[in-house]
């Protein structure tokens, strides 16, 4: 049985190696994934976060004075973490998986849930994929705001 599996493995390997690359490429991505990829993290930040966190991430948004505690300076997340941007913690905060003390109560919208519910006509796995992509894009934008 084992020699048969090895022979089959060689057959699959050589059959794949002989295929032209164009046959295994995906010609176009589904529209929903294109939309997710085109949702720029900076655009999401300006639309959803800047009102509290400020356009530069310094915590000086127009709604910040009305909040219970001062908004954190999002540009110093890496420097406050020994120079390493805390991607997992930031994503968890955006998704709503952690309670952020500076928000007092859970006043910060749970963007993971909001992103997942953005396209109610889509299948669950598509909505969750779009939500993860948007959280990734938003986190990447926050990482780009970091100062030395």
**116-125: pLDDT as tens digits:** 777 777 788 8
Query: What are the b/e assignments for 95-115, b being 16+ CB within 10 Å?
Result: bbeeeeeebeeeebeebbeeb
pLDDT value, residue 99: 56
- Is the pLDDT assigned to residue 106 strictly greater than 70? no
Q: What H or E segment, with its residue span, contains residue 53?
A: helix 50-53
pLDDT value, residue 125: 81
pLDDT value, residue 5: 52
pLDDT value, residue 113: 76
pLDDT value, residue 85: 97
* Model pLDDT for residues 66-82, shown as the tens digit of each residue: 988 889 999 999 999 99
C-beta separation of 68 from 104 below 8 A: yes
Work out the angle at residue 105's Cα, subtended by the Cα atoms of residues 104 and 106, and round it to the nearest 5 degrees. 120
Question: For 24-28, what is the mean pLDDT?
Answer: 45
CA distance 62 to 66: 9
The full length of the chain comes to 148
């Amino acid at each position: 049985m084992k020699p048969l599996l090895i022979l089959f493995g060689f057959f699959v390997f050589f059959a794949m190696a002989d295929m032209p690359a164009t046959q295994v490429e995906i010609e176009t991505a589904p529209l929903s994934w294109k939309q997710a990829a085109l949702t720029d993290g900076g655009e999401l930040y300006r639309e959803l976060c800047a009102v509290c966190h400020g356009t530069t991430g310094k915590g000086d948004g127009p709604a910040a004075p009305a909040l219970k505690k001062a908004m954190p300076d999002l540009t110093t997340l890496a420097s406050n973490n020994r120079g390493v941007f805390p991607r997992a913690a930031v994503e968890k905060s955006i998704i709503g998986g952690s309670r952020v003390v500076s928000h007092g109560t859970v006043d910060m919208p749970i963007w993971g849930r909001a992103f997942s519910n953005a396209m109610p006509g889509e299948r669950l796995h598509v909505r969750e994929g779009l939500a993860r992509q948007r959280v990734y894009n938003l986190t990447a934008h926050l990482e780009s705001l970091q100062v030395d």
